[in-house]
């Protein structure tokens, strides 16, 4: 349980808020690359951390992210002309480049220096894995873009989606932070309704032993289930700063193939964007796998959503699935977190053993906010190539002997992975 003050501290993300200041120190997903597919294409609206922005791809293919309202008299740049390496306001023709420099003020007299006195709000952008990442913090503290393994894969090995979540980002993020709900929320009673996720876990211990281990990147979340015959079913996922869940998918088969990243990016205090990045290391993503990650309509709105009760089928709920909401995990997760309300009051909770890893994530976020407030660098900020070696951010699924220490096993797997990479 959090106090109301603690709850406000890590859920409020607007300009000037402590959590908003923390989020702004990281590269965060802003939009999909396909939303601005080619140079000089139409700009798109983006809202992040309570700020209204506009993204565009200039004539050289570079991505810009600008404050939406023109610095002249406030007209929305969403309606602007994207031309000749700049975005031009339709009201008086002020033109901005991707760095927020005013290139032209054509309504001013010849020789005017007004454009040299104005700097429009602009945020640096980088592209990787079909996603545009933005940094909204102090320019003098600009970090390296994290070098996760999936960021350099061929596009065919990735499937990336974005959806609007009608709740605070933390509710979605906490959905990544406990393994116990997987035995219930995503359960299917028939093969035809079974989704992706972790199929080897179905039917196993519904009350796993959980542990959250603090790391340099966030929290390593360990789940151990009794699989019978002296075997422990081990599942390792990760909370990665500032808003990412790295989740094993596909069970034992999926373990060597890849995993899924769920990024819960605050739009404002009461809405978030969920980016799903599904990848396969050594093969293209199949059409069947894409269907499991889909279910999103125009405007990034889920086809099943809170406004239509997720199209819940009560007959299906009786006979085929635990929720009656089909087999897409995105929908199950969304119902569980959105139906709490826009910002859940965590002072009303009654927590148990199944919440241990969610509690660990909350504590890590609180500590990180306070670290920044004390003028210190928060965790998982990449400054050097050595820091950017992120092979230890690993998702693991395995059947292990029940006598083994899970944390020792995890360290051995990570060390072996690094050694194989060196030899390759």
Give the sheet arrangement for strand 63-67, strand by strand: 44-48, 51-57, 63-67, 122-123
d(CA 127, CA 31): 10
Out of 141, 175, 203, pick the residue that ends a domain.
141
Q: Does residue 199 belong to any structural domain of this protein?
A: yes
Check whether residue 200 and residue 309 sit in a common domain: yes
Residues 185 and 51 in one domain: no
Q: Are residues 166 and 123 in the same domain?
A: no
54-90: pLDDT as tens digits: 999 999 999 999 999 999 999 999 999 999 999 999 9
Q: Provide the percentage of residues in the chain whose pLDDT is more than 70.
A: 96
Instruction: Let me know: does 249 contact 261? Beta carbons within 8 Å.
Output: no
In this predicted structure, the answer to whether residue 423 has a pLDDT above a threshold of 80 is no
Do 403 and 294 belong to one domain? Answer: yes
Residue 3 lies in a domain: no
Is the residue at 38 inside a domain? yes
Question: Residue 318's pLDDT is what?
Answer: 95
* 164: in domain: yes
Residues 255 and 195 in one domain: yes
Residue 16, in any domain of the structure: no
Summarize the confidence of residues 394-420 as an average pLDDT. 90
- For residues 284 and 345, state if they share a domain: yes
85 & 190 share domain: no
* pTM given for the model: 0.94
Please give the pLDDT value at position 419. Answer: 65
Q: Final residue of a domain: which of 80, 113, 141?
A: 141
Cβ-in-10-Å burial (0-12, 13-18, 19+) of 116 comes to exposed
Q: Which two tokens stand for residue 325?
A: 């909401």
Asked if the model's pLDDT at residue 177 lies above 60, the reply is yes
- Is the residue at 341 inside a domain? yes
Phi and psi dihedrals of 259, rounded to 5?
A: -150, -170
Of the pLDDT bands very low, low, confident and very high (cuts 50, 70, 90), residue 158 is very high
Same domain, 85 and 173: no
Contact present, 247 and 260 (Cβ < 8 Å)? yes
Structural domain boundaries, residue 53: 27-141
* Average pLDDT of the segment spanning 299-328: 95
**CATH classification of the domain holding 121:** 2.102.10.10
Out of 32-41, 89-98, 173-182, pick the least confident.
Answer: 173-182
Domain count, the chain: 2
pLDDT (0 to 100) of residue 424: 44
**Closest among 143, 121, 176, 159 to 32, alpha carbons compared:** 159
Whether 183 and 81 map to the same domain: the answer is no
Instruction: Give the CATH number for residue 395.
Output: 3.90.380.10
What percentage of the chain carries pLDDT values higher than 90?
A: 86
How much is the pLDDT for 202?
61
Within a domain: residue 263?
Answer: yes
Do 117 and 178 sit in the same domain of this protein?
Answer: no
| Residue where one domain finishes, among candidates 141, 162, 183 | 141
Chain-wide mean pLDDT for the chain?
94
- Within a domain: 11: no
Average pLDDT over residues 131-136: 98
Residue 192 scores a pLDDT above 80: no
Both 166 and 259 in a single domain? yes
Residues 125 and 177 both lie in one domain: no
């Amino acid at each position: 349980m959090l106090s109301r003050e603690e709850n406000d501290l890590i859920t409020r993300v607007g300009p000037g808020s402590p959590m908003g200041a923390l989020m702004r120190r990281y590269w965060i997903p802003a939009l999909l690359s396909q939303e601005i597919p080619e140079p000089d294409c139409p700009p798109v609206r983006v809202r992040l951390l309570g700020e209204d922005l506009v993204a565009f791809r200039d004539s050289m293919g570079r991505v810009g992210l600008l404050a939406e309202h023109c610095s002249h008299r406030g007209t929305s740049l969403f309606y602007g002309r994207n031309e000749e390496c700049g975005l031009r306001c339709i009201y008086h023709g002020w033109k901005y480049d991707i760095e927020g420099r005013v290139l032209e003020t054509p309504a001013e007299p010849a020789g005017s220096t007004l454009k040299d006195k104005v700097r429009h709000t602009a945020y640096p952008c980088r592209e990787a894995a079909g996603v545009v990442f933005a940094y909204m913090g102090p320019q003098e503290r600009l970090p390296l873009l994290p070098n996760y393994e999936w960021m350099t894969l061929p596009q065919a090995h990735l499937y990336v989606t974005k959806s609007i979540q009608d709740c605070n980002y933390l509710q979605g993020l906490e959905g990544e932070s406990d393994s116990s709900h997987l035995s219930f929320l995503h359960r299917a009673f028939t093969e035809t309704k079974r989704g992706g996720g972790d199929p080897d876990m179905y039917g196993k211990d519904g009350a796993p032993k959980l542990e959250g281990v603090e790391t340099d990147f966030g929290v390593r979340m360990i789940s151990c289930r009794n699989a019978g015959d002296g075997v422990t079913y081990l599942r390792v996922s990760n909370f990665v700063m500032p808003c990412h869940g790295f989740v094993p998918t596909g069970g034992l088969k999926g373990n060597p193939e890849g995993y899924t990243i769920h990024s819960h990016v605050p739009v404002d205090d009461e809405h978030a964007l969920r980016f799903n990045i599904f990848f396969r290391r050594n093969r293209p993503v199949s059409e069947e796998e894409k269907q499991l990650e889909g279910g999103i309509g125009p405007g990034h709105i889920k086809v099943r959503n809170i406004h239509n009760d997720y199209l819940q089928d009560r007959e299906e709920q009786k006979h085929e699935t635990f929720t009656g909401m089909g087999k897409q995990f995105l929908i199950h997760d969304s119902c569980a977190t959105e139906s709490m309300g826009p910002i859940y009051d965590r002072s009303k909770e009654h927590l148990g053993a199944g919440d241990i890893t969610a509690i660990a994530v909350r504590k890590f976020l609180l500590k990180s906010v306070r670290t920044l407030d004390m003028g210190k660098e928060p965790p998982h900020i990449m400054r050097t190539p050595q820091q950017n070696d992120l092979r230890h951010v690993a998702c693991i699924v395995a059947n292990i002997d029940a006598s083994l220490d899970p944390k020792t096993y995890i360290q051995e797997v990570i060390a072996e992975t690094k050694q194989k990479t060196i030899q390759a």
